[in-house]
Amino acid sequence: MRVVLDTNVLVAGLLNPPGPCGRLLDLVLDGVARVCVDRRILQEYEEVLRRPQFAFSPAAVSEVLEYMRSSGDPVPALPLAANLPDPDDLPFLEVAAAAEAVLVTGNLRHYPKKAAGRVAVVTPAECLELLRRSNPPRE
């Protein structure tokens, strides 16, 4: 399954690996989910991960960004005229629409149904359930 990770999901996963966001990042690393990105998303990831309040080491930030650049699926975004509460969230919606991917966020209110259109916007826990259903355990 292709996913677009809102920055809050990436940060939460790095801060709390056992939580839903961390488990989702593990599935990305395992190749169960494919992260879709564009230049704008990568720039936001970098800007946020380097904020002092998170205290991520420069080496850890570089490692995460390099993984996203090299293993993420680069997607040319489709320009959308969506009216989002925060215009900075538009790249995530545009990439999800272009990639026909699921947009995963901890802030559903940032992507109102009317603005999201046909893009499925889900929480990390909902994404984990979708992945579980689409990848049943092998016997």
Which CATH number belongs to the domain containing residue 35 in this structure?
A: 3.40.50.1010
- Distance (Å, whole) CA 130 – CA 74: 23
Q: Is 82 left (phi over 0), alpha (psi -120 to 50) or beta?
A: beta
**Average pLDDT over every residue of 9-32:** 97
Structural domain contains residue 8 = yes
Residue span of the structural domain in which 101 resides: 2-134
The residue whose two tokens read 């169960």 is 32
Q: Is residue 117 pLDDT above 80, yes or no? A: yes
pTM for the structure as a whole: 0.93
Instruction: Determine, yes or no, domain membership for 139.
Output: no
The length of the chain, given as a count of residues? 139
What are 59-116's pLDDT values in tens digits? Answer: 999 999 999 999 999 999 988 888 899 999 999 999 999 999 999 999 999 999 888 8
In whole angstroms, what is the distance from residue 120 CA to residue 118 CA? 6
HSE-CB of 102 using CA atoms within 13 angstroms: 18
